[in-house]
Structure 1
Amino acid sequence: MSNTSNKHINLESGRLSVQIAHPGSVYNGSRFDWTAFITKIVLDNKYSFCVPESEIPGQGSGGFGLCNEFGINTPIGYDEAKPQEKFPKLGTGLLTRPDESDYFFFDKYEVEPFPVKISMDANAVVFDVEPVDCNGYAVKMTKAVTLKDNILTVDYCLKNVGSKSIKTEEYCHNFFSVNNNRIGDGFVLKFPYDIKPIEIPEVMNIKGNEIRWNFVPKGDFYCQIEGFESVRQHYWELVYEPERVGIREYSEFEISKVAVWGTTHVVSPEIFINVDIAPGKTQEWTRRYEFFTF
């Protein structure tokens, strides 16, 4: 079942209730993709998962729940743009380069949003982002959010309709908790392989394929991990043991990087994909989330 309001699109399945922001209504910044910006996920009318990036209004970059980002490290066309010229940020719009400084994802850039068409049926919503040529770069993107029972699926389809190749990266910043509990004792993050951390934050306790928390974080923590290279079906699983509930994200694409970011109230596993599309070609991938009790 689906319905829409001025700010949100609501989808419901047998077990999930999901709220998706209309592009630009809740988030209109220059960092995250405006489409499929998911601000609420509730399982069995009992367990909520989406939390804000920052609990202090005005801090952070405005992330909430499930929001993905293109080009955190490889902005398309930025180096070619002169100050006050535009460059494309996929899913967001044409951004204006302010000066000669390097691109930094956390900075705020002027945004001219891409036009988006929205279509819906009983259990899905589709966002069609229309291409706008910018110095030879142009992408037609379709993102579909579908619910079935306790599973939420996000399908991506990007077609390069410009004259230049598209080379960047994408990941989803999963701003998750369970029923707004503080991150700490009771939360366990699991992977299907032994975790090889590049650097271990003091707050994390890593053993085998599990991450636990030694105490409630006082601030941000970040850990890039390896070990995923040999896994054919990549997923991560976050469970909250006191309430016996969890989330799994299955990545149906070739992984390029895995990281874990978090702070006092949120933990965000980040799974990256390299986006590489020659003119006239298409790239597709899927992120599938399963919400469960045990």
Structure 2
Amino acid sequence: MPHILKNKNLEILIDLPHENYRETRFDWSGKIIEVNFENVTFGITETPKAAYQHHNGRGFFNEFGIDSPLGFDEAKKGEWFHKIGVGLLNKEDDSYSFVNNYKVKTLNFSIQKSTDSINLECSSELVHGYQYILKKEIQLLETGFRINYWLENIGDKTIKTTEYNHNFLAFNKELMSNDYRLVLPFELDSGQFDENVNPENFVQFKNDQLGFSKTPNEVFFFSYLNGKKKVPASWKLENSKLNIGIKEVGDFKTSKVNVWGCKHVISPELFFEIALHPKQSVSWSRTYTFYKL
């Protein structure tokens, strides 16, 4: 059963580390699977097939090291490397792929619960010179929630990685359509995107907004919507049919903003860059607010 944080305005459903999703891509600590606000459900599974809901991303899942997990390059085939928030993964091939499900030695988590927050903590083994402590707090707010992260390098080597929240979003499972609009804090120029996958051209850009002319049947993906410039870490997604919106604001600037999606889901992604020398730590946060239009 998920852990629930609830007040008069909203309800947050959180799977604990060893509940349900146990693949090796997304961080296991504090897996927010769903939020309910004003009789609207936010958050959906990566795939619409119910059979896969425990094997794919869902709701507000985050990930560390999507391209290069700690120690992967140093590890030989058959040896172990770190996936922060998951555990030690076994190297199978010369290149890492986040879509693979690796053999894993899972982390142990300590959990503290209260009426308005949940705190999770884990610490890794020392492998290939890398070792860390990760703490995450999910804090209930009046009309939203905040995720506070804290990462400490207790190993011998510098930790260089990224973290982002995938944000698998739909409102009441409403398909992507011209009822939705994603608003970003900068002008959008598709000519500056690093990747532009829009096979049906149903995803459209105007000024600072992304919208849909029709419901897409194919996967769409755009990377570096910010053109690799440092921008405020924020976005808002609104639905004019339901008159509801959600906003994410990070307490950092980001140099990478991606958007992925398909027929039933859209995922705006704000990347946080991490560079920690031994004995250093860093903290950051993501605040989500839900509102009526």
Same fold (TM over 0.5): yes
2:4 maps to 10
Aligned to 1:49: 42
Contact 2:169 2:265 in 1 (8 A): yes
Deviation for aligned residue 1:59 = 8.5
Query: Unaligned regions of 5+ residues in structure 1, if any?
Result: 1-6
Report if the CA contact (8 A) 1:240-1:246 is conserved: yes
Shift of 1:230: 5.8
Equivalences, count: 285
AA at the equivalent of 1:226 = N
Find the partner of 1:126 among 108, 112, 119.
119
Distance 1:47 1:266, change over 3 A: same
8 Å Cα contact 1:31/1:61 also seen in 2: no
Superposition TM-score, scaled by structure 1 size: 0.93
Alpha-carbon shift at residue 234 of structure 1 (Å)? 3.0
- Alignment partners' CA distance in 2, 1:64 and 1:20: 11
CA offset digits 1:152-179 (Å, max 9, x no partner)? 1000000001111111111110000001
Counterpart residue number, 2:175: 182
Partner deviation per Cα, 1:109-149 (whole Å, 9 max, x = no partner): 01111110000111000001123221221110100000111
1:104 maps onto 2:97 in alignment: yes
8 Å contact kept, 1:168–1:276: yes
| 8 Å CA contact retained: 1:61, 1:106 | no
Root-mean-square deviation (CA, aligned residues, Å) is: 1.6
In the alignment, the residues of structure 2 paired with residue 17 and residue 60 of structure 1 have an alpha-carbon distance, to the nearest angstrom, of 21
Q: Is the 8 A contact 1:131 1:161 kept in 2?
A: no
- Residues in 1 aligned to 2:161 and 2:176: alpha-carbon distance in whole angstroms: 31
Cα gap change, 1:165/1:230 in structure 2, threshold over 3 Å: closer, same or farther? closer
Pair 1:249–1:51, CA change in 2 (3 A): same
Query: Cα distance, 1:273 vs. partner?
Result: 1.1
Structure 1 segments, 4+ long, off by >6 Å, are none
Q: In 2, distance between residues paired with 1:27 and 1:227?
A: 33
Q: Specify the alignment match of 2:217 in structure 1.
A: 218
Separation in structure 1 between the aligned mates of residue 119 and residue 46 of structure 2, nearest angstrom = 25
Q: Distance in 1 between matches of 2:253 and 2:131?
A: 24
Q: Which runs of 5+ in 2 are unaligned?
A: none
CA deviation string 1:66-93 (max 9, x = no partner): 0001111122111111111100000110
What SS does structure 2 have at the residue aligned with 1:243? coil
Q: TM-score, with normalisation over the residues of structure 2?
A: 0.93
Matches of 1:79 and 1:215 in 2, distance apart?
43
In structure 1, give the amino acid aligned to 2:133: K
For residues 219-251 of structure 1, give each alpha carbon's deviation from its aligned partner in whole angstroms, at most 9, with x where no partner exists. 2110121168364x4310100001100100001
Whether the 8 Å contact between 2:186 and 2:226 is mirrored in structure 1 is no
Indicate if the aligned counterparts of 1:14 and 1:148 stay in contact, CA closer than 8 A: no
* SS of aligned partner of 1:177: coil
Q: How does 1:141-290 map to 2 (within 5 A)?
A: 141-197=134-190, 198=193, 199=196, 201=198, 202-224=201-223, 225-226=225-226, 229=229, 231=231, 233-290=232-289
**CA, structure 1 residues 193+24, in 2 after alignment: closer, same or farther (shift >3 Å)?**
same
CA–CA separation in structure 1 for the residues paired with 2:164 and 2:113? 24
